[in-house]
Structure 1
Amino acid sequence: MHTRHELSAAALALFAEFGHESTTVDQIAARAGVARRTFFRYFASKDDAVLPDHDTTVGTVQAVLEGAAPTEEPLAVVCRAIREVLRMYTADPSMSLARYRLLRQVPALREREIAVVSRYERLFTKYLLSHPSVSGVDPDSTTAMLAEVSASAVVASHNHVLRRWLRTGATGDAMSRLDEALAVIRRRFSPSADDEAPGDIVVTVVPGGTHTSDVLDAVRRALD
């Protein structure tokens, strides 16, 4: 794992110095002090070195979902699981900042990150739809729709908090900010999360392919 981290750090440093297109695998391996073949034991390409931790984090998130008791509020479990994703980013602020700056400069890498992050949304939707409280419902029902929308809202909340944290130089308590955002989501999509009487359900419709930050903004406007 140490070598994997060193390779990723070397890749990010070289991309910042010489640009993404000009940097080669040989340069990354040399900067990390390993052989070219060692690089390929960890990554299939130089682009894979930019987002090295998601596979492990997906496994951690899956374990949280699978380890939850059937009687636990399902959206609370999803909110607990998304904290593991933010924990991955906040564990190494300098690396996260370097990655953020690079992704802003290279659209192809940004698209790759979006695709990776969508894995969490699919995991959460699958978990919510398979939960005993909704298992067996009509896929076209309002219940099924709300499961998918609430999973999207959780991921959008995470992305919103993460971006704000990175834009401010990775300072401040990002986890507390995430918990505050998730509390709003739970109150709206799972009223039993607190002692308040259930309120109206608000459904926001956005075009397919809408960026997660825009989805969150649309949800916030609807709730306001």
Structure 2
Amino acid sequence: MPQPAKAPRQKTTAGAPASAAGTRAAAQRLKMRRELAAAAMELFATKGYEATTVDEIAATAGVARRTFFRHFRSKEEAIFPDHDDTLVRAEAVLNAAPAHEQPLDTVCRGIKEVMRMYAASPAVSVERYRLTREVPTLREREIASVARYERLFTRYLLGHFDERDHHDGYDDPLLAEVAASAVVTAHNHVLRRWLRAGGEGDVEAQLDHAFAIVRDTFGGGIGMGGPGPSGEPSEAVRESAAPAPAAVRAPAVSVDGDDGVLVAVARTDAPLDEVMRTIERALKERRG
């Protein structure tokens, strides 16, 4: 006796519903953290930091005290709701870096996630900056948050060479730590200047300029390979020092001496920051 035809089985993607649910939960969590932070900042501004209680923050946000403590451990922590998520995004930039990208450039891209966090809400960021200047406890919390980024970037740069290799002439591990600190310092300098200006101006362009200075100081090729145990340059270093093929050579720049016109020639896939650094150097040489 013939069997009835079975309906075709629907294909499902394992983990997809769970993934969607996780994304929604993360979004709801961040939304609540931001609402609590907004309530905290409002009360800090009107009542003062010391006079504000956790119960008042929760009540202003329309939630129970226990809800507050599900998201923050203390009232000073509530003023920085986005740092955990931003740290995750910065780490994701490092983890997804293309193999050909110079590690220092990757770190500069990673810390831009921090700047974008502040730039997304200029008014909130400016008010938070004012509060951290006035309340030492908040300032200490901010310093602790910055230290987490610096540790992340230092670990990333150190991961490109053997930290245990301390023979003469091999200073890359030291250079990695100093360069990571320099990137964070450059970011913080630009951020403070932007906040003092009321959150006005193209902060990302200012950041790119600061990073160009860091690259010129430490060398863009940091972490691409160091000398081997014999003290001779490693294969990666020798390759990076060799003349580049025409297809990947740095953008050529020439100056027309008759009328002072600067003509930049670059491949369409050349990194924009590299093109701008080349133009900047050419202009300095022309004027200098």
Task: Say which of 116, 121, 137 aligns to 1:87.
Answer: 116
1:23 aligns with 2:52: yes
- Give per-residue Cα distances to partners, 1:102-123, cap 9 Å, x unaligned: 1001112101111110111111
Q: Tell me the percent identity.
A: 57
Asked whether 1:178 is paired with 2:210, we answer no
> What SS does the corresponding residue of 1:88 show, helix, strand or coil?
helix
Question: 1:74 Cα deviation (Å)?
Answer: 0.4
Residue 135 of structure 1 corresponds to: 162
Q: Cα deviation per residue 1:147-186 (whole Å; 9 max; x = unaligned)?
A: 1111000000000000000001111111110011001111
Shift of 1:52: 1.1
Distance 2:63 2:186 in 1: 39
- Point out the structure with max Rg over C-alpha: 2
TM-score (normalizing by structure 2): 0.64
**Does residue 49 in structure 1 map to residue 87 in structure 2?**
no
CA contact (8 A) 2:163 2:173 kept: no
Q: In the alignment, does 2:91 pair up with 1:62?
A: yes
How many residues of Structure 1 are paired with residues of Structure 2 in the alignment? Answer: 194
2:216 corresponds to: 187
What residue is the counterpart of 2:174 in the other structure? Answer: 145
| Partner Cα separation in structure 1 for residue 220 and residue 56 of structure 2 | 54
| Post-superposition CA distance 1:79-131 (Å, at most 9, x none) | 00010010011111111111101100111210111111011111111111112
Structure 2 CA distance for aligned equivalents of residues 2 and 182 of structure 1: 32
1:116 counterpart = 2:154: no
Match of 1:101? Answer: 130
Cα distance between partner residues in 2 of 1:27 and 1:43: 14
Distance 1:34 1:125 in 2: 39
- Report if aligned partners of 1:137, 1:143 keep a CA contact under 8 Å in 2: no
When you count helix as a share of all residues, which structure comes out higher? Answer: 1
Residue type of the partner of 2:162?
A: S
User: In structure 2, what is the Cα distance between the partners aligned to 1:115 and 1:152?
Assistant: 14
Give 2:155's match in structure 1, choosing from 126, 151, 155. Answer: 126
Deviates more, 1:162-171 or 1:61-70: 61-70
Shift of 1:139: 5.1
2:34 matched to which residue of 1? Answer: 5
User: Gaps spanning 5+ residues in structure 1: where?
Assistant: 197-224
Q: For the aligned residues, what is the CA RMSD?
A: 1.9
Question: Aligned match of 1:34 in 55, 63, 81?
Answer: 63
Give the match for residue 210 of structure 1: none
Question: Structure 2 CA distance, aligned partners of 1:73 and 1:89?
Answer: 26
Aligned equivalents of 1:136, 1:188: Cα separation in 2: 21
Q: Which runs of no fewer than 5 residues in structure 2 stay unpaired?
A: 1-29, 223-248, 252-288
Greater Cα offset, 67-76 or 149-158: 67-76
Match of 2:8 in 1: none
Taking the aligned partners of 1:191 and 1:10, their CA distance within structure 2 comes to 43
Q: C-alpha offsets along residues 200-220 of structure 1, whole Å, 9 cap, x if unaligned?
A: xxxxxxxxxxxxxxxxxxxxx
2: CA distance between counterparts of 1:144 and 1:87? Answer: 29
In the other structure, the counterpart of 2:11 is none
* Helix, strand or coil at the partner of 1:72: coil
